[in-house]
Amino acid sequence: MLDPLRATSGSPLSLLKRIRTKVNPGVERNITSFPQRRPFLGRYHAKFRRALGPSRASYNGINGRVFQGPRFRERIRVALATETRGAIYQPADTPYHIVYKKTSRRALDLRERDNQGGSYMMKCSLQFLSTPTADTPGTSLMLHFDRKRYLIGNVGEGTQRVTVQRKTGLIKVGDIFLTGTVGWENAGGVLGMVLTIADCTATSRENALQVLGEKKQKNVSRERLGEVDKGNEVKPLKEAEKPWLSIHGGKNITHLLATARRFIFRKGMPLHTHEYTAKRNAERKNWDPTWQDNWVRLWDMVIEPEGRCASPKKRRHDEFSEDESCKEQMPGETEDELDQIRQAVVSSMFNSEWRLDALFTRKLSTVQLPAAIFVRTEEGKVEKYSGPMPGDRGYDPDVEVMVRNPWPGALVDSLPPTTPSASSVCYIIKSQPRRGKFDAKAAIALGVKPGPNFRVLTEGQSVTTEGGTVVTPDMVLGPGKTGSGFAIIELPTTSYIGPLLNREEWSSKEVMHGIGAVIWILGPGVLHDARLQAFMQARSEMEHIVSSKDCCSNYLALESPAAAAIRLHLLDADRFPIPKYSNVVPHPTDPTMPYMAAKPSMTLQLEPRLEVQTDGIIPDFNTATVVKEVQNDAKLMELAKAARDEVMAPGYQQRLDERQKDIPSKDAEVVTLGTGSALPSKYRNVSATLLRVPGYGSYLFDCGENTLGQLKRVFGDELPEVLRDLKGIWISHLHADHHLGTVAVIKAWATETAEDELTKNNKLYVLSHEGMTKWLHEYSEIEDYGHKRVEIITFAPSNVRQFDFQSSLSDRQQKELGLVSFKACSVSHCHGAAAVVFEFANGFKVAYSGDCRPSREFIKLGKGVTLLIHEATFDDELKGDAIAKKHSTTSEALDVGRQMNARRILLTHFSQRYQKIPVMEAQGATDQVAIVAFDYMRVKIGDFAKVDAFRPALTKLYEDEVAKIGETGRN
């Protein structure tokens, strides 16, 4: 049986020395083979965990028997480097296990020890998350280490959704390295990604604090969480261990983040930006890394296109205008001051001490409206102020009230001006070099006593012996290993090739030593440039991986929503199209060239040896599997056939036309591009609904992230026509899930219409709150996305909380916009949230709720509308959540439609994966039909009743999901 020996300390060495076995000498057995392991490990479980410190999660106690993680391995290696009677740390495969062996003096033995060193074998790999598709316009990669991850490349719209699809965790992401120029195509997903990472880390920290509280309450924890406790005292997490995020990129990345200050605010996650700008060759004094941490070293390469001039003087932020000639730049000091203002704004967005529950007393006359105003009663209770306001009879300007201070970022009215930059940021990234094997005998011979000084030496620091001799690490460490790495190069056009090839980094041994691969992110046509191909040929010893529309297909990057769309298509092909895609590569890879095309989940392993791993590549989506799955459900197919037979039966269309003869624009089509809430999910994208009214135009109601990608999937080759017909975009409020796709849609519209003489002078109307229009203007300083051709109609200024707006469109505006009028009113959701009613010349009226609680004012505006599009975020069982988060339930949305007497009702904006299919009873002699929206659905006003005929089949298709009501969204 196991015979623990006595020890006087809890160090890893002493703990391991206590482990002995009385089995036959020379017999080596894994701990899992001992029947007595459970009581033994149970007895020493807590001591092992305390000794391992932050690596405690790697030790799974009496059930797991597993020790893994670099910090654990390093501690045990140091502890066992001198003498380990009876205990050997030896990997079986991976993970590592503690094994027992009767022996004399043994040192740590690692199976995967490299040839030079004795430290643990670090694993490091670079994985492709996405290549250019309609779902993911950019190329995104994740650099994996055991304890940290780096997001590298483009973070365009759709990036966070593909991480959900790939089940890629973001909790360990501490740095984002953006490549290329700072524009919406490359960085349009950063704002949503930052929100997601902030929420992930906040949740993780809250869980850690909760665990800490539980341990303190029970007074039994001696584990290390945050810092080692002394006695039974449990101390809080250190300030340094709070979550943080750094974003690296080109000029204007700080400005881009600061433009979002009106609608992005998170506490407790410091966010830092690092902008890299072009440097003159004469400024290079050494080849020290531009940036580094404990895991990687990085050199930036900022490429200017041919024809650009260099900055006239050295500054932290160089500006390059979009003109062909260089303009005189601001003095360096002024530019630094402006950058500090932007940095301060970003800091206030993510690391503020602002509290929602903090109220401040001031006189009513000094309150900046709009604001929630409170008073304290004589009993000491805080109540909402209901007295006279400025302009009301009996108004007292000196009455004392209490208000919340706005969050700091919202107090900044405008940002310092900036100009677009054409610089393309590239990187050379290498893992940190590894120290060699620690020679314990040499250390002892030099007079170093075993113990803490051994750890100091292995960490690269010198120690002084009792005899006064200074022992340096190089005296006791064997040869180390240079880190492995890669270069990631983004070239938007061929004008960047020449400046790239002339870079000094390619000839620097210090920089290029260990670089075994180049990742190429290339614009259209760049891959086939002879200069670039010659460069690859000359460096054929390196792996070259290319991500470009020229060599990557427009595959279905989001398999889950595609599968859902195919299932719906098999039920009703007329209303549920299959997303447009192509698995055909436009220009197949030339087998004579030393490069390969990037694929989703292709992995470049950097450590322990460099190799391209293709076994994990995600194959093209097999639609046949989904078809077979649905067709095998006999009951489902029977219900679908019954519905098809009903709508195709002789006389059905005639009866339907008779019921709908008073409905105008029955051929108007509703296309639901995004039907989810809060953030892009596995099955539903965020809010966007397209309305196409023949003879008038097309209109977007809200425009969440990657709406353009959804348009591409729905319309394919028809998209240019749809964009030319687009007249207006309505943004209901300033939450990120409702408007972050606007810039991309405007840019696509501007590009398409500029190519036609008949449309190049067209205007695109954006109808929204003043905060939205300010954001569009501020972002237009970063890139020309067509803002000059946008005509903005603001329904309410920023300082107004309650409003009723009725447009007074000029004849020109009516002709260009296609509307007779539109009316808007404030609704209960957030500051500036509004619902709207569009009215056309033929009497067709559409009401859109945005996000809100049921609104009487909205019901009045929408009386007699043809179509109501209303949010139904929560199911009826979650009405409490709906009230708390200021959303509507399914029944509440239907009741709004009844009170409006809306002929057709479309429910959307769901927090659940799939919503219950509602039943809408006819009211009197007027038929009302309500249907549920799904992503990619296309339905004409006159066909709502046909979709309703498929309700039994839809219910059967999602009967399993209907029971799952627990998932809720966040706003």
Output the domain CATH number for residue 732.
Answer: 3.60.15.10
Residue 895: give the domain boundaries.
665-969
Identify the CA nearest to 67 among candidates 77, 81, 57.
57
Give me the mean pLDDT over the 806-831 stretch: 93
- Name the token pair of 38: 């459970």
In sign, the C-alpha dihedral spanning 61, 65, 70, 73 is positive
Give me the mean pLDDT over the 698-725 stretch: 97
Q: In whole angstroms, give the CA distance from residue 246 to residue 472.
A: 34
**pLDDT (0 to 100) of residue 518:** 98
- pLDDT tens across 60-97, in order? 333 333 344 444 444 444 444 433 333 333 333 323 33
pLDDT score of 919 more than 80? no
Identify the CA nearest to 257 among candidates 240, 245, 268.
245
By CB atoms closer than 10 A (0-12, 13-18, 19+), residue 759 is middle
Asked whether residue 960 is domain-assigned, the answer is yes
- Of 450, 475, 500, which residue sits at a domain end? 475
Give me the mean pLDDT over the 422-432 stretch: 96
Q: In whole angstroms, give the CA distance from residue 454 to residue 107.
A: 14
Residue length, the chain?
971
DSSP states of 796-831: S-TT-SS-EEE----HHHHHHH--SEEEEEE-SSST
Task: Give residues with Cβ within 8 angstroms of 685, minimum separation 6.
Answer: 161, 561, 673, 674, 675, 676, 704, 705, 706, 707, 710, 935
pLDDT band for 920, please (50, 70, 90 cuts). Answer: low
Q: In whole angstroms, give the CA distance from residue 365 to residue 740.
A: 36
**pLDDT (0 to 100) of residue 55:** 39
Task: Give the H/E segment covering residue 470.
Answer: strand 470-471
Asked whether residue 774 is domain-assigned, the answer is yes
Contact by Cβ (8 Å): 891, 658: no
Asked whether residue 937 is domain-assigned, the answer is yes
CB atoms within 10 A of CB 7: 14
Give me the mean pLDDT over the 333-347 stretch: 85
- pLDDT tens across 177-188, in order? 999 999 999 999
Asked whether residue 731 is domain-assigned, the answer is yes
If one counts the domains in the chain, the total is 2
pTM above 0.85, yes or no: no
Q: Which residue has the tokens 């849609």?
A: 745
**pLDDT (0 to 100) of residue 206:** 72
Contact by Cβ (8 Å): 589, 595: yes
Q: In whole angstroms, give the CA distance from residue 120 to residue 78.
A: 11
Task: Give residues with Cβ within 8 angstroms of 318, minimum separation 6.
Answer: 251, 277, 278, 311, 329
Backbone φ and ψ for 968, nearest 5 degrees, come out as -125, 155
- Of 424, 449, 475, which residue sits at a domain end? 475
Give me the mean pLDDT over the 204-224 stretch: 63
Asked whether residue 798 is domain-assigned, the answer is yes
**pLDDT (0 to 100) of residue 849:** 97
Task: Give residues with Cβ within 8 angstroms of 674, minimum separation 6.
Answer: 684, 685, 686, 687, 688, 689, 702, 704, 707, 710, 935
Identify the CA nearest to 819 among candidates 842, 803, 848, 835.
842
**pLDDT (0 to 100) of residue 918:** 66
More confident residue, 545 or 53: 545
pLDDT score of 23 more than 70? no
Identify the CA nearest to 243 among candidates 196, 282, 308.
196
Mean pLDDT, the chain, rounded, equals 81
pLDDT score of 443 more than 70? yes
**pLDDT (0 to 100) of residue 960:** 54
pLDDT band for 547, please (50, 70, 90 cuts). Answer: very high
Asked whether residue 958 is domain-assigned, the answer is yes
Asked whether residue 800 is domain-assigned, the answer is yes
Mean pLDDT: which of 8-22, 148-162, 453-467, 792-806 is highest? 148-162
**pLDDT (0 to 100) of residue 460:** 80
**pLDDT (0 to 100) of residue 688:** 98
Q: In whole angstroms, give the CA distance from residue 971 to residue 955.
A: 28
Phi-psi category of 237—alpha, beta or left, where left has phi over 0 and alpha has psi -120 to 50? beta
86-95, 298-307, 460-469, 907-916: range with lowest mean pLDDT = 86-95
Asked whether residue 959 is domain-assigned, the answer is yes
**pLDDT (0 to 100) of residue 961:** 54
- pLDDT tens across 594-637, in order? 999 999 999 999 988 899 999 999 999 999 999 999 999 999 99
**pLDDT (0 to 100) of residue 923:** 53
CB atoms within 10 A of CB 217: 10
Give me the mean pLDDT over the 865-880 stretch: 94
Task: Give residues with Cβ within 8 angstroms of 363, minimum separation 6.
Answer: 397, 398, 399, 400, 401
pLDDT score of 19 more than 50? no
CA angle 619, 622, 625 (to 5 degrees): 140
- Of 427, 448, 475, which residue sits at a domain end? 475
Q: In whole angstroms, give the CA distance from residue 791 to residue 578.
A: 34
